[in-house]
Amino acid sequence: MKTATTLVAIAAIAISSVFLLGRPRNSVAAAPSPGAGNSTAGASSMQQQIVSKEREGLDALKTGNLELFGNLTADDAVFVDAAGPATKAEVLKHVEGFRLADYTMQDVRFVALSAKSGLITYRIDEKGASHGREFAAQAYISSIWTKRKNEWVCVFSQETAVRKHP
């Protein structure tokens, strides 16, 4: 896994990548996105909580706090990137040699899946070092978060590299 941001995102979620590739992107902070599909206060609050947790995971990858990153990831989580699916244990082993230096989240979108779960998609522009090599990358991330035992955890994340247009 190039970036476990596809978690939190980690990371690492092509559910919406085909949809996102053909649309113009607007940079947004963690504010609710227009057309996100839910305008209720509950959905907005859930979106804010999930985006906050996604950022918390990304920030943990900046500071090297792998314990926090692991705590934000469900034990049964699945991560998918170009290398295929990976378990939480595989992702945690990989991120031992990974550190984000900087990232931005753009075009954040949200879909409530239930009263206790939601999906976010966004484009990430990131810089860092992976196993001794510096990198800069852009990817589309989709993450599904659910509330378990009153805590938000990521249960699924997929990362799709941004296609370079000729």
CATH of residue 49: 3.10.450.50
Residue-wise burial string across 26-45, b where 16 or more C-beta atoms lie within 10 A, e elsewhere: eebebebbeebeeeeeebbe
> What does the pLDDT read at residue 37?
43
Residue 166 lies in a domain: no
pLDDT tens sequence across 69-79:
999 999 999 99
Q: Domain total for the chain? A: 1
* Residue range of the domain that includes 86: 17-161
C-alpha span between 73 and 155 (Å, rounded): 7
> What does the pLDDT read at residue 56?
98
C-alpha span between 57 and 109 (Å, rounded): 18
Write down the pTM of the prediction.
Answer: 0.75
Which ranges of the chain have pLDDT less than 70? 1-41
Question: 14, 41, 75: which is closest to 49 by C-alpha?
Answer: 41
Coil vs helix vs strand at 22? coil
